[in-house]
């Protein structure tokens, strides 16, 4: 399937499985009359494959070592992209950042790295399923920087277009998206 055909198909899947209208309270506490819940798309076989493919294509030339982000939204994305990157011969390892470090065991904030692995000096992309203001992604950025990683980009599947561009620019971070809310609000 061509990139444009893959993208068009994924728009359909997101519209059917993950987009809705109706009042909702966002993670930020703000109210909205539309929402994206990308978990049904990320966990659908075709949706997962298309998200992984398009995300990998968007990132393959960025010289990345790791892909990850804040739990839960980044977990299926990072895992799927890690798998496809291996299959395409350009491995990008995955990790995720806990919202709160575990209170037992190793008490880690960053999960998925082996004992001998570190983000120190590594080029990292932070991924999100849906981005509103970018605050959640910035928490992951902070954890990666605390671990010594270099965050080169934040990539979201859907930008709600409600402040993230400005917030990431202010933080000195490159920001890209696969889709924007305006693509779904036309109808």
| Residues involved in catalysis | 102, 104
Interhelix angle 45-59/74-87, nearest 10 degrees: 70
136 is in an annotated binding site: yes
Residues whose CB is less than 8 angstroms from the CB of residue 130 and which lie 6 or more positions away in sequence, other chains included: 36, 37, 38, 73, 156, 157, 158, 160
130 is in an annotated binding site: yes
129 is in an annotated binding site: yes
The dihedral through the CA atoms of 138, 114, 44, 85 has a sign that is positive
Question: Is 72 in a helix, a strand, or coil?
Answer: coil
133 is in an annotated binding site: yes
135 is in an annotated binding site: yes
118 is in an annotated binding site: no
Q: What angle do CA 173, 147, 177 make, to 5 degrees?
A: 30
Q: What is the DSSP letter of 44?
A: S
97 is in an annotated binding site: no
Known binding residues for orotate: 132, 160
Known binding residues for 5-phospho-alpha-D-ribose 1-diphosphate: 98-99, 102, 104, 128-136
């Amino acid at each position: 399937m061509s990139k444009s055909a893959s993208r068009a198909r994924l728009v359909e899947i997101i519209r059917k499985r993950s987009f809705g209208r109706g009042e909702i309270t966002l993670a930020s506490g703000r109210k909205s009359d539309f929402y994206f819940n990308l978990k049904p798309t990320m966990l659908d076989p075709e949706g997962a494959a298309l998200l992984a493919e398009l995300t990998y294509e968007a990132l393959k030339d960025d010289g990345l070592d790791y892909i990850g982000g804040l739990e839960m939204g980044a977990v299926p994305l990072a895992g799927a992209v890690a798998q496809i990157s291996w299959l395409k011969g350009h491995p990008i390892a995955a990790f995720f950042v806990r919202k709160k470090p575990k209170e037992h065991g190793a008490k880690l904030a960053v999960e998925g790295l082996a004992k001998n692995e570190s983000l120190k000096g590594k080029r990292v992309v932070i991924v999100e399923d849906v981005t509103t203001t970018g605050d959640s992604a910035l928490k992951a950025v902070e954890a990666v920087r605390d671990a010594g990683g270099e965050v080169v980009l934040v990539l979201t599947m859907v930008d709600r277009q409600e402040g993230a561009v400005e917030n990431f620019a202010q933080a000195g971070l490159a920001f890209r998206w696969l889709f924007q809310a305006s693509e779904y609000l036309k109808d």
